Structures are given as C-alpha cells and as structure tokens.
Structure 1
Amino acid sequence: MTDLHVEELSARTIVAANSLTLKPGQEEFVSPTTYAVAMVVADPQTTWQRVVMDGEEVVAFIRAHFDPDDPTDYLRAAVWRVNVDADAQGRGAGRFAVEAVMEEGRRRGFDHLSVVYEPGEGGPEAFFRRVGFRPVDENEYGEVVAEISL
C-alpha cells in the first residue's frame, strides 16, 4: 500500500465501503456497515465517516464520534468502527485510519480517544493494542473501553 489517503464517505465510495470483506470469524464483532452509514443522518455534526483509499480503491471504512457534551466520557471522542477489507488487513490501512481519527480529535481539541470493543478470540483487541490503545475500563455490557492519548 503506497498511496493511502482518507476521503469523506460519498456517493462514489459508499458501495465499496459496504462491500468490504472480513476474514472468517470477524463478522461476529462487527455490525453491518450500513448501520454506521445510516447514523450520520442523525447527527452529522458529531459523526465523522471516512474511507481509506489505496489509490482509487477503497480498502477501509472508519467512523468516529466527537461530542464534548456527551454524558459518557468514553464516547466524547471515540472510534466507533474500523472495517478493513480482508485483503488489506495487515498492510497498514487500519493504522492509517486510526491515525486519521487521532488527527481529527486533536484538531477538535480532545486529549484522548476511546474505543469500545467486545473481547474475544479473533476480535479487534490485538489490533487496538498494536496501535497504542490501552484498556482502562469495562462498560455496562462487558465490553472493553480502551484509550489512547492524543
């Protein structure tokens, strides 16, 4: 992957974002991408959705939430979704996507970024640890809350 860049989710990229594939076993940790896309209608001011492109190919989708007034601390600046196409996993697209969210968080004045994930074999924990997130808590649903400093 040599030409990674981030673009806003658009009519040109939405079909490809919805068509990203996962490795076997990963689907149990991810809700359909269209759920994430539909949420932007609810509050476009706090929802940040982008695709990671490798040249002209969509290789990842990322969604974040930025709301300094959210009553739940770990949701004020949070990664809500990272989908990296199965063929692109392990090649830097996911890290690139998270770094883009971190940059946006800094631009908006946040000092840390959170992520919430379900623990389990084949889940996203190893990825989030590799990019620098550290578990700090557990939410009411038994999911891991992890943070990274910005």
Structure 2
Amino acid sequence: MTSSLRLEKITPANVEAAIGVTIRPDQEHSVEPVAHSLAEAYARGDTAWPRLILDGDRVVGFLMAFLDIDWKGDGSREDVRSGLWRLNIAAAEQGKGYGRFAVESVAAEIRRRGGTRVFVTWHAGADGPEEFYLKLGFRPTGETSGDQPVGVLDLM
C-alpha cells in the first residue's frame, strides 16, 4: 500500500469508474453492487456518503458511509448512528490494506463530525467479512439489522 491513498467524491466524471468496481464472484451475495449503492445514495442523499477509494489515479474500491441516521426509524431521533454502510474492494486489490484504509477514513469523517462510534453490519457466515471487522476493533453489539450482525467501534 502506498501513501497516495485518498477518497474522492462521486461525480459525473468518475461515476463510471465507481460502477466498474467489482468484487470477487464468491462475495457477491455479501454486498450490493456499487450501482445499487449509488441508487441508494441518491435516494438518501441527506445521510449517504459515497466515495471512491483511489491509490494514486487507480480506482481500487468504493465505500459508502451513513451519517447521522435515525437507527430506530421512528422519527424520535433517540438513537442516531453513523457508520460504514458498504465496502467494495476490487477483486484484484483485496488483501492490500485498502479495506483498512476505508474503515479508518470513515472513522475519521465521523470523528470530524463529532461522532464517537462507528457502526457496521456484515453478512454472517464463514465466507463473510466478520473476521476483517473484528480485527479492526469492532465488537458485536448483539443486535441485528435485517439478518446481519451489527458491530460497533468506539473512537474514544
């Protein structure tokens, strides 16, 4: 991994590159394709934070954070959360530290906005990313979102 890693906002100039990020076929059941994520980002523009992950000028992945969502969804705003919503690292780029960079970047943005915790959900099972998130310090909350476990990383 080089020091030229950065995130870039999705724009008309790079949206095709974002859509072109594809994961390994055996992971496709674990995370939505980037095009699906971008549609959700459009529909939830007030809380979605989609970004390309670049190493120099080379696109290596895509992430989408959620910022200040009403977790209960009942309008009470009693449980407002931020975290990593989607992470797609290109198949040929996995295992090079780009996923860690993505999580650290989302954590930095949440911290910049005054947040103290990062939430994530993952596909459960032996072929899911649970081990990746646990190694980064996330701990299971005991909750689920749909059928996915919820994890939290304290930023303090």
Question: What is the TM-score with the length of structure 2 in the denominator?
Answer: 0.87
Match of 2:37 in 1: 36
Question: What's the offset of the Cα at 1:10?
Answer: 1.6
Moved over 4 A (4+): 72-75
Does residue 64 (structure 1) correspond to residue 69 (structure 2)? The answer is: no
RMSD: 1.9
Render the CA deviation track for 1:90-136: whole Å, top value 9, x for unaligned: 11111111111001111111110110112112211111112221111
Match of 2:19 in 1: 18
Task: Determine the C-alpha separation between the residues in 2 that align with 1:99 and 1:145.
Answer: 18
Task: Determine the C-alpha separation between the residues in 2 that align with 1:122 and 1:41.
Answer: 30
- Segment drifting more, 74-83 vs 29-38: 74-83
Identity of aligned residues (%): 39
Kept in 2: contact 1:63–1:82 (CA 8 A): yes
Does residue 80 (structure 1) correspond to residue 85 (structure 2)? The answer is: yes
Match of 1:143 in 2: 148
Question: What's the offset of the Cα at 1:82?
Answer: 0.4
Task: Determine the C-alpha separation between the residues in 2 that align with 1:23 and 1:33.
Answer: 13
How many residues are paired up?
150
Match of 1:109 in 2: 114
Question: What is the TM-score with the length of structure 1 in the denominator?
Answer: 0.90
Q: Could you say what secondary structure the match of 2:42 adopts? A: coil
Task: Determine the C-alpha separation between the residues in 1 that align with 2:79 and 2:20.
Answer: 29
Question: What's the offset of the Cα at 1:70?
Answer: 4.2
